[in-house]
Amino acid sequence: MKVVIQRVAHASVSVNNEVFSKIGKGLLVLVGLDHEDSEAKFDFFIKKILNLRIFADETGKMNRSVQDVGGEVLLVSQFTLYGDCANGNRPSFTGAMAPDKAKALYSQFVSKFSAEYQKTYDGIFGAYMQIELQNDGPVTFIIEK
């Protein structure tokens, strides 16, 4: 499982030119699943995302989590995080989980994440989406396990 976490001033997901989900201050989290992922990794990633101290405190230091600042979280599935570009000019996606399995596992991840943190929104798995965001900082982290 791999996530790209971006601290944002705001972000939105649109499908067919209609906004499906949007957030204000918070985190845009791109989620990639590989063929070996399972629910066993959920707790680690949920805890890490919700407790990662990447928002400024009163002194300007990164010392507050998304929960501490009352921010929102936008989860977006992105299988291209497992695109291998090492050989040739066309990415290989053999490392990504098969779409049917990924859809089920991603849905479980979103459900569990939402149960832990109410201010959670997501995109539409497998849809062609437009993501708009204002990266705050910029602050971006990649976590893989």
In this prediction, residue 71 has a pLDDT band, given cuts at 50, 70 and 90, of very high
Domain locations in the chain as residue ranges: 2-144
The yes-or-no answer on residue 125 being catalytic is: no
CB 76 within 8 A of CB 129: yes
Per-residue pLDDT of 90-136, as tens digits, reads 999 999 999 999 999 999 999 999 999 999 999 999 999 999 999 99
Share of the chain above pLDDT 70, in %: 100
- Could you say which of 45, 55, 79, 109 is catalytic? 79
pLDDT at 44: 98
78: annotated active-site residue:
yes
What is the CATH code of the structural domain delimited by 2-144? 3.50.80.10
Q: What is the pLDDT averaged over residues 79-84?
A: 94
pLDDT of residue 107: 98
User: Out of 42, 45, 55, 78, which one is annotated catalytic?
Assistant: 78
Q: Which of 44, 80, 94, 108 is catalytic?
A: 80
Helix axes 42-51, 99-116, angle to 10 degrees: 50
Query: The whole model's pTM is what?
Result: 0.96
Rounded alpha-carbon distances, angstroms, from residue 92 to 38, 88, 109: 22, 9, 25
